[in-house]
């Protein structure tokens, strides 16, 4: 028996192909998109403005493909980590972060990750596969709090720009009038700076960009992030300088602060020099400990001194509030535990 193809995650052009295959009129693609992305139905049978006989034909080869989370962990601060199945024996996480004025979802793009950053639990899993547009979008659409979302960040498991084709399908659906019709200003894509994907993103998308930096020194960044060898931070910054970030789009740099490693004023001043003439902001992030890694989180006083040095130099810098520390907050920890249970 052939596995049914999933409609959720298809662009309007792809849905036109589905309509043609099923013998439906061309306008049925827009009808399907409306049912999928505006009404958020979970079955083809619910698409009641499509003739019942045609729905029956669709159901032979297709399904909506919305899958609820298989597990969750809720923090005392209201943060919720959801676990979704991603093929046999595989799981991915998304993290729902509500605050007073917004509700943000961190979305995964891969099962595991190729980048092997020292501080990241997902990298310890190794790389299994890219998520399909269906598996990425399902984290958003099947979220119990989906109607409350104000912002989406592709900053969960995996490197989004290493899965750029599927990512761009999802970005299209999120921002297109036939889809969610979100403003690109509500969406941020986080990356370590995969060169080919970064260039395409900068040229084709108006969504915000966040770059994982973590050190202004190449050798030190390489010790934390082996991809510094292939994608040096200085090259990433030079690429970014070629594009306009003064109006709709925003670029930020993510900087996890490690105790006695990258948290002194010398690092802060070097970061000021590295980001010279880049209209950006820097987010300082407290490190969440992971097993078998000796890195420690910096203390608040040092983080504040670091922040104040950047702000004094004209670079907007904030300390991101730490959320969900009591629920396997680091990316990849819950999915790793679930996978180990299955083995």
List phi, psi (to 5°) of 65: 85, 30
Identify the band that residue 114 occupies on the pLDDT scale cut at 50, 70 and 90: very high
* CATH number of the domain to which 201 belongs: 3.20.20.70
Q: Can 331 be counted among the known catalytic residues?
A: yes
Residue 244 confidence (pLDDT) = 85
Q: What is the pLDDT of residues 37-48, one digit of tens each?
A: 999 999 999 999
Does 94 carry a binding-site annotation? no
Q: What is the pLDDT of residues 51-69, one digit of tens each?
A: 999 999 999 999 999 999 9
Does 106 carry a binding-site annotation? no
Average pLDDT over residues 220-227: 97
Global model pTM greater than 0.75: yes
Specify the higher pLDDT residue, 2 or 150. 150
Report d(CA 25, CA 19) in Å as an integer.
7
Does 288 carry a binding-site annotation? yes
Final residue before a domain boundary, out of 24, 40, 61: 61
Average pLDDT over residues 148-163: 96
Does 190 carry a binding-site annotation? yes
Query: 7 and 99: one domain?
Result: no
Residue 330 confidence (pLDDT) = 55
What total number of domains does the chain contain?
A: 2
Query: 49 and 120: one domain?
Result: no
Least confident of 18-22, 225-229, 279-283, 332-336: 332-336
Inform me whether the pLDDT recorded for 8 exceeds 90: yes
Average pLDDT over residues 111-131: 93
Specify the higher pLDDT residue, 116 or 326. 116
Contacts 24+ apart (CB under 8 A), 240-246: 240/202, 240/209, 240/211, 240/278, 241/277, 241/278, 242/202, 243/202, 243/203, 245/209, 245/278, 245/279, 245/280, 246/279
Query: 36 and 168: one domain?
Result: no
Does 280 carry a binding-site annotation? no
Q: What is the pLDDT of residues 322-334, one digit of tens each?
A: 877 776 655 555 6
Residue 323 confidence (pLDDT) = 79
Average pLDDT over residues 77-102: 94
* CATH number of the domain to which 16 belongs: 1.10.150.530
Final residue before a domain boundary, out of 12, 43, 61: 61
Q: Can 296 be counted among the known catalytic residues?
A: no
Residue 339 confidence (pLDDT) = 53
Query: 16 and 87: one domain?
Result: no
Q: Which of 93, 135, 166, 228 is catalytic?
A: 93
Average pLDDT over residues 205-229: 97
Query: 24 and 141: one domain?
Result: no
Does 113 carry a binding-site annotation? yes
Query: 147 and 42: one domain?
Result: no
Query: 181 and 324: one domain?
Result: yes
Query: 90 and 131: one domain?
Result: yes
Domain that holds residue 156: 69-339
Query: 46 and 114: one domain?
Result: no
Inform me whether the pLDDT recorded for 109 exceeds 60: yes
Final residue before a domain boundary, out of 61, 90, 107: 61
Q: Which of 147, 234, 331, 343 is catalytic?
A: 331
Query: 215 and 82: one domain?
Result: yes
Q: Minimal CA–CA distance to 63: which of 118, 103, 4, 21?
A: 4
Query: 47 and 79: one domain?
Result: no
Identify the band that residue 246 occupies on the pLDDT scale cut at 50, 70 and 90: confident
Query: 113 and 37: one domain?
Result: no
């Amino acid at each position: 028996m052939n596995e049914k193809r999933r409609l959720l995650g298809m662009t309007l052009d792809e849905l036109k192909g589905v309509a043609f295959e099923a013998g439906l009129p061309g306008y049925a693609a827009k009808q399907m998109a409306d049912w999928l992305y505006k009404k958020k139905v979970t079955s083809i049978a619910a698409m009641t403005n499509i003739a019942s006989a045609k729905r029956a034909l669709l159901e032979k080869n297709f399904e909506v493909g919305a899958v609820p989370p298989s597990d969750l962990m809720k923090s005392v601060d209201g943060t919720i980590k959801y676990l979704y199945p991603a093929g046999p024996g595989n799981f991915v996480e998304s993290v729902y972060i509500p605050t007073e004025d917004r509700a943000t979802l961190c979305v995964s793009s891969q099962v595991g990750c190729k980048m092997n950053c020292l501080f990241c639990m997902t990298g310890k899993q190794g790389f299994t596969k890219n998520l399909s547009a269906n598996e990425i979008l399902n984290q958003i659409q099947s979220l119990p709090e989906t109607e409350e979302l104000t912002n989406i960040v592709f900053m969960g498991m995996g490197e989004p720009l290493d899965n750029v084709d599927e990512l761009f399908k999802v970005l299209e659906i999120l921002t297109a009038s036939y889809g969610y019709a979100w403003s690109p200003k509500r969406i941020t894509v986080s990356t370590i700076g995969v060169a080919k994907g970064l260039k395409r993103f900068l040229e084709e998308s108006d969504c915000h960009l966040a770059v994982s930096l973590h050190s202004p020194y190449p050798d030190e960044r390489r010790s934390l992030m082996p991809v510094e060898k292939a994608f040096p931070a200085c090259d990433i910054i030079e690429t970014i300088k070629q594009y306009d970030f003064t109006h709709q789009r925003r670029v930020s740099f993510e900087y996890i602060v490690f105790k006695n490693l990258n948290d002194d004023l010398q690092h802060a001043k070097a970061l000021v020099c590295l980001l010279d003439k880049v209209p950006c902001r820097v987010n300082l992030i407290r490190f969440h400990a992971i097993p078998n890694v000796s890195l420690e989180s910096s203390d608040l006083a040092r983080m504040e001194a670091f922040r104040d040095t950047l702000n004094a130099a004209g670079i907007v810098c904030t300390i991101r509030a730490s959320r969900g520390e009591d629920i396997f907050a680091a990316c990849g920890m819950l999915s790793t535990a679930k996978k180990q249970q299955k083995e």
